Amino acid sequence: MSRLIASFIAGPTNVPEKVLAAYNVNYGSADLDKDYLALYLSTEKKLQTILGTSNQVFMQTGEGMLGLWGALKSCLKPGDRVVSVCSGVFGYGIAEMAKTIGAEVRCFELPYHETVGNCSELEKIIAEFKPLMITMVHCETPSGTLNPLGEVARIKKSHGVPLFCVDTVASAGGMPVEADKFLIDLCLNGSQKCLSAPPDMTFVAVSDKAWEIIDRVNYQGYDAFKPFKNATTDFYFPNTMYWQGLAGLSAAAGLILEEGLEQVYDRHIQAQSYCLSRIKQMGLECFAGPTAIKSPSVTAVNLPAGISWPELDRRCRERGLAVAGSYGPLAGKVFRIGHMGTQADLKLLETGLNILESVL
Ligand code: PLP
């Protein structure tokens, strides 16, 4: 592959030097050395701040999908009821995953270019179906959309739904998640999007209610959450922990907090505005519909007439630019410009969007 001048793949993102440096160390044994425990606990604090939660946050080797599967398998037994908010590839995907576990799933379906707005139908489904869990995706990365959490959190509370499980993989660290304010019981994340660490760590904020259910379900697989409940108090992790990965995640979270959450969020908004205005100038059209909320971490653009996705990709890469295609029903129809984490940089975006303009 030729050297890239600018990469706007919607994760993984370029990893800053300080994060890379954290990998370049021979650490001791995470099973035996108390320094690992200290790093684990201090990283947990940083991630709690980023997620806006006082719930326990545990970290495990593996990327975002590990947390998604682990949450569903750890909380659901066959026959349990789930209502899934489906507005994109990951929302529909999580509903399918819950079905494979044997859960009875009802979907609140929205077109891929829309975001959660009027929730009266969702409320009706929840009132009738009385689910154990509501699932939802905050940022639908393949569509560049952002589902607001407030109204669904209100419905969870007023109908006494035990678990609200939210995929914040492509939002946390780039915009407010506020897991406690929005009553999120399982807040699922990966290291490779707005945190700009390599794709090797998953981290999940788990509420007391979720731990209670996890304990009862007693799922024992490799992706099980249960062993992490007392892992730090007992200093006993279920497998050999990845010290370099944790150190990288800690450094990445540290960079966000050093910059300041408000500044980081503002940088993402500025990157998004710049991207949207350049797209408009180029005569391109956003995939997200006029009433949808667009995500500050990624913009999905309708592929213009007269060029296929493989051709656009080839021409961009020839000039040193990588943008992303999309998935599922959006494959070949939409391309995406990530502006998450280290990509939320106006100079870098200017370079990349100049290349895109010349290609088009
Ligand atoms: N959830 C969302 C919204 C994503 O965009 C992704 C990855 O693109 C994932 C989950 C899965 O994360 P990973 O690819 O790190 O396993």
- The model's pLDDT over 117-151, given as tens digits with 9 standing for 90+, comes to 999 999 999 999 999 999 999 999 999 999 999 99
Name the percent of the chain lying above pLDDT 90.
98
What is the 166 CA–ligand 1 centroid distance (Å)?
Answer: 12
Closest by CA to 86, choosing from 119, 57, 108, is 108
What is the 90 CA–ligand 1 centroid distance (Å)?
Answer: 8
Q: How many CB atoms lie within 10 A of CB 50?
A: 27
Q: Is 223 in the pocket of ligand 1 (CB under 6 A)?
A: no
Residue 4: pLDDT band (50, 70, 90) is confident
Rounded Cα gap, residues 128 and 150, in angstroms = 21
Residue of 141, 143, 175 with the most ligand 1 atoms within 8 Å of its CB, for mutation: 141
Q: Do the beta carbons of residue 63 and residue 242 sit within 8 Å? A: no
Residue 232: pLDDT band (50, 70, 90) is very high
End-to-end CA distance of the chain: 21
Q: Is 88 in the pocket of ligand 1 (CB under 6 A)?
A: no
Pick the CATH number of 18-258 from 3.40.640.10, 3.40.50.2300, 1.10.10.10, 3.20.20.450: 3.40.640.10
Q: Is 232 helix (H, G, I), strand (E, B) or coil?
A: coil
Mean pLDDT for the chain?
A: 97
Q: How many CA atoms lie within 13 A of 179 on its CB side?
A: 32
2: pLDDT strictly greater than 70: no
Domain with CATH 3.40.640.10 in the chain: 18-258
Let me know if domain 6-14+261-359 sits in CATH 3.90.1150.10. yes
Q: How many CA atoms lie within 13 A of 18 on its CB side?
A: 12
Average pLDDT over residues 330-355: 97
DSSP letter for 328, please. G
Q: Is 95 in the pocket of ligand 1 (CB under 6 A)?
A: no
Helices (H), 82-119: 89-100
Residue 192 structure tokens? 């490779």
Domain with CATH 3.90.1150.10 in the chain: 6-14+261-359
Residue 198 structure tokens? 């390599």
Average pLDDT over residues 317-337: 95
What is the 66 CA–ligand 1 centroid distance (Å)?
Answer: 10
Rounded Cα gap, residues 245 and 39, in angstroms = 11
Q: Is 65 in the pocket of ligand 1 (CB under 6 A)?
A: yes
